């Protein structure tokens, strides 16, 4: 029984969990990729996160058709967006990206007012996990790595060029489409299904 359960558990982990380092969810072999450029302080990004993205995670990501890659695009007009991205990326390194992502989007109005990103993150993690996150963010080398990741995501966004958040880049079957705003999942799903992938 255990022999049967272990591969199943592994498969489920691969399909549903967010990858700790590269902030992605779903099978790396998925024929369709959805890159989500978002800003933790942007209300439309929060709506997209709890709407179409959550529905996609439970549907086409779970079925192995789509892989979601989360990209940071903190906007200049949001003073704490970059700090939030740093905490989320640090949480990704300890395998808690999903949880912190949810918390930051859910409480964006509160920490967006006070700037207390750390307090928001601390409420979601165990003291041991929070200590790890703090260690990552106080270590100049790992902080520089995180900042480089954010800068690389932003450079990618500017190259598209990205004019607003959230913006998703849907690619598969040799096609690539930009999808802007907090779109409805039924429309997004029809677009995904229209891609010429097996």
Q: Which stretch binds other proteins (CB under 8 A): 58-66, 84-92, 111-119, 190-198?
A: 190-198
What's the closest the beta carbon of residue 26 comes to other proteins, in angstroms? Answer: 20
Strand segments, DSSP code E, in 44-166 are 66-72
181 interacts with other proteins by CB under 8 A: yes
Which residue among 15, 156, 183, 197 contacts other proteins (CB under 8 A)?
183
51 interacts with other proteins by CB under 8 A: no
Kindly list the strands in the beta sheet with 66-72, ordered across the sheet, starting from the edge strand earlier in the chain.
24-25, 66-72, 32-38, 167-172, 175-180
- Nearer Cβ to other proteins (123/184): 184
Three-class DSSP category at 153: helix
In terms of Cβ atoms closer than 10 Å to its own Cβ (0-12, 13-18, 19+), residue 24 is: buried
Two structure tokens written together for 159 = 């190259």
Query: DSSP string spanning 28-71?
Result: TT-SEEEEEEE-TT-HHHHHHIIIIIHHHIIIIITTTSEEEEEE
Q: What string marks each residue from 128 to 167 as x (binds other proteins by CB under 8 A) or -?
A: -----------------------------------xx---
182 interacts with other proteins by CB under 8 A: yes
In terms of Cβ atoms closer than 10 Å to its own Cβ (0-12, 13-18, 19+), residue 168 is: buried
179 interacts with other proteins by CB under 8 A: yes
190 interacts with other proteins by CB under 8 A: yes
Number of residues that bind other proteins (CB under 8 A): 15
Which residue among 134, 147, 178, 197 contacts other proteins (CB under 8 A)?
178
Q: How far apart are CA 127 and CA 132, in angstroms?
A: 9
- Nearer Cβ to other proteins (122/197): 197
Residue numbers at the binding site for other proteins (CB under 8 A): 163-164, 177-184, 187-188, 190-191, 194
């Amino acid at each position: 029984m255990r022999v049967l359960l272990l591969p199943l558990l592994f498969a489920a982990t691969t399909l549903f969990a967010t990858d700790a380092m590269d902030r992605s969810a779903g099978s790396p072999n998925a024929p369709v990729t959805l890159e989500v450029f978002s800003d933790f302080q942007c209300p439309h990004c929060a709506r997209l996160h709890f709407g179409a993205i959550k529905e996609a995670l439970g549907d086409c990501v779970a079925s192995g058709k789509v892989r979601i890659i989360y990209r940071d695009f903190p906007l200049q007009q949001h003073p704490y967006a970059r700090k939030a991205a740093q905490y989320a990326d640090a949480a990704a390194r300890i395998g808690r990206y999903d949880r912190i992502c949810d918390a930051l989007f859910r409480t964006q109005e509160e920490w967006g007012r006070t700037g207390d990103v750390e307090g928001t993150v601390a409420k979601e993690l165990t003291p041991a996990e929070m200590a790890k996150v703090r260690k990552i963010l106080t270590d100049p080398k790992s902080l520089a790595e995180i900042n480089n990741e954010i800068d690389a995501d932003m450079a990618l966004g500017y190259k598209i060029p990205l004019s607003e958040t959230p913006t998703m880049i849907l690619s598969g079957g040799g096609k690539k489409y930009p999808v802007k705003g907090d779109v409805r999942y039924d429309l997004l799903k029809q677009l995904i299904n229209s891609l010429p992938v097996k």
